[in-house]
Amino acid sequence: MAQVFAYLNHKNGVLEDAAMELINAAKAISSEPATAIVCGSGIDAVATAAAAIFPKVIKVDNAALDYPNAEVVRKALVNVIPAGSVVLFAHNTFSMDCAPGLSVKLNASFVADIVGIDGVDGSTLKVVRQEFGGVVSTHVGVDMSAGAVVAVRPGTFAPDESKAAGGAVTAADAGDLSAKRKFIEIVAPEAGDVDITKADILVSIGRGIEDEENIQLAMDLKEAIGNAAEVSCSRPIVDAKWLEASRQVGTSGCTVKPKVYMACGISGSFQHLGGIKGGLLIAINKNPNAPIFQVANVGIVANIVEFLPALTEKIEEMK
Ligand SMILES: Cc1cc2nc3c(=O)[nH]c(=O)nc-3n(C[C@H](O)[C@H](O)[C@H](O)COP(=O)(O)OP(=O)(O)OC[C@H]3O[C@@H](n4cnc5c(N)ncnc54)[C@H](O)[C@@H]3O)c2cc1C
């Protein structure tokens, strides 16, 4: 059986939550203990956190890895991972940059944005992907005979939050990390008038809101709920300039962890879901096959243009 490695993202000294999901993805592939890889500079705390989740951790600590430059990380991984291995990533903008090239360097198969693992049959890894915006599920056989690089959509596997692995950390030498691509600076998004990251309840609207004037329906619901609530949105709403960028949730917007996240007319792209880090996810969508229903805790099939005012009215009645 191929050895399974999981590349773990971290930011500001904190492991991303997907680490707790990747351990369960690894268990769906092999009964052998998986190895986590953390790359960075001055990452002892991150490696220790990884060892609470994974039985084995490889720490690649090098000044050249201070910023997660995909080209440099890829070089480090090629130097550390043995040929024929299975390498897991969380599917995100970093993995989109790093993982395909890694599969080329390792001469391994590559599959991105998987939403399920059906098991292993000999040297074939059976995974599930979604096509046409989630309308069709495809079952894909990935040839692992020369290894495989697999990016797993966040939310596919339940997180293992036990943090009881008691793993061992080994330092690895990354070798030559010279690269053509240079990190220059991080440009933080401008702070907006609203801080959606502080709200307990987010009424989040997507393209399903259909019209700019319908934004008011979400604002009315937020008013009815009270101070705990705020209105957030998916990227098409910001692109249309219907709401300001500070309200966007997702990989290129804000990361939020409210108690309740109401996704209204949002399909469930990984770029959007990547910004939701917990809480009760309630999805309201008129399409019963919308991908968001696969990750939602509560699913409601409804037209939001009718549902939002009806819910507002009900809350006002109950006050
Ligand atoms: C590099 C990159 C970064 C990105 N970053 C982000 C990001 O940070 N955040 C983000 O959100 N997106 C991001 N995106 C865009 C992302 O890929 C999706 O296009 C986007 O999330 C889709 O938004 P949506 O779900 O609102 O729209 P759609 O995918 O068009 O979904 C609309 C949904 O509304 C439903 N619907 C339609 N009408 C109604 C109705 N009347 N009532 C109920 N349901 C209805 C439909 O069934 C559908 O499921 C990024 C893309 C790229 C390439």
**pLDDT tens column, 76-128:** 999 999 999 999 999 988 999 999 999 999 999 999 999 899 999 999 999 99
- Topology of domain 196-318, per CATH? Rossmann fold (3.40.50)
Q: What is the DSSP letter of 133?
A: G
- Ligand 1: distance of its center to the CA of 265 in Å? 8
For 284-290, what is the mean pLDDT? 96
Indicate the pLDDT class of residue 134, thresholds 50, 70 and 90. low
- Whether 274 shows a pLDDT value over 90: the answer reads no
Amino acid at 32: E
Of all protein residues, the one whose alpha carbon is nearest to atom 28 of ligand 1 is: 267
What confidence tier does 24 reach under pLDDT thresholds 50, 70, 90? very high
Ligand 1 atom at minimal distance to the Cα of residue 249: 9
CATH of domain 4-171: 3.40.50.620
How far is 120 from 124, CA to CA, in rounded Å?
A: 6
Structure confidence by residue, pLDDT tens digits, 184-232: 988 876 666 788 988 999 999 999 999 999 999 999 999 999 999 999 9
Percent of the chain at pLDDT > 90 equals 79
Q: What are the structural domain ranges in the chain? A: 4-171, 196-318
Q: What pLDDT shows up at residue 190?
A: 67
- Per-position b or e across 7-37, b if 16+ CB within 10 A of its CB: bbbbeeeebbbbbbbbbbbbbbbeeeebbbb
> Which residue from 211, 237, 266 has its CB within 8 A of the most atoms of ligand 1, so it is best to mutate?
266
Domains 4-171 and 196-318 share a fold: yes
Q: Mean pLDDT over all residues of the chain?
A: 93
| Three-state secondary-structure class, residue 56 | strand
Q: Which helix (H) or strand (E) holds 113?
A: strand 109-114
pLDDT number for residue 17 = 86
Least confident among 26-30, 187-191, 236-240: 187-191
CA distance linking residue 41 with residue 298, whole number of Å: 41
Is 90 exceeded by the pLDDT of residue 270? no
Residue 161, H or E segment: none
pLDDT digits (tens, 9 = 90+) for 137-179: 899 999 999 999 999 988 788 889 899 899 999 999 988 999 9
The CA-based dihedral angle spanning residues 162, 52, 10, 155, taken in that order and rounded to the nearest 10 degrees? -30
Cα dihedral sign, 222-228-231-235? negative
Reply yes or no on whether the pLDDT at 271 is more than 70: yes
Tokens encoding 193: 């008038």
Please write down the long-range contacts of 103-108, taking CB distance under 8 Å and 24 or more positions apart.
Answer: 103/148, 103/149, 105/74, 105/78, 106/78, 106/81, 106/146, 106/147, 106/149, 107/83, 107/146, 107/147, 108/84, 108/146, 108/147, 108/148, 108/149
Band (pLDDT 50/70/90 cuts) for residue 132 is confident
Ligand 1 pocket mutation, candidates 213, 261, 267, criterion most atoms within 8 A of CB: 267
Q: Measured between alpha carbons, how far is 149 from 88 in angstroms, rounded to an integer?
A: 6
Q: Check if the beta carbon of residue 184 is closer than 8 Å to that of residue 220.
A: no
Cβ-contact 50, 26 below 8 angstroms:
no
CA of 208 to the centre of ligand 1 (A): 8
Share of the chain above pLDDT 70, in %: 98
Across residues 63-77, what is the average pLDDT? 95
pLDDT at 195: 87
The pLDDT score that the predictor gives to residue 158 is: 86
Ligand 1 centre from 270 Cα, in Å? 10
The residues lining ligand 1, judged by C-beta closer than 6 Å to any ligand atom, are: 93, 206-208, 210, 234-236, 248-253, 265-267, 269, 271-272, 275, 285-287, 290, 303-305
* 99 CA → ligand 1 middle, Å: 24
Report, as an integer, the average pLDDT of 277-293. 94
Q: Can you list the alpha helix ranges (DSSP code H) found in 55-170?
A: 70-80, 93-106
The model's confidence at residue 288, banded by pLDDT at 50, 70 and 90, is very high
Atom of ligand 1 nearest to the CA of 250: 8
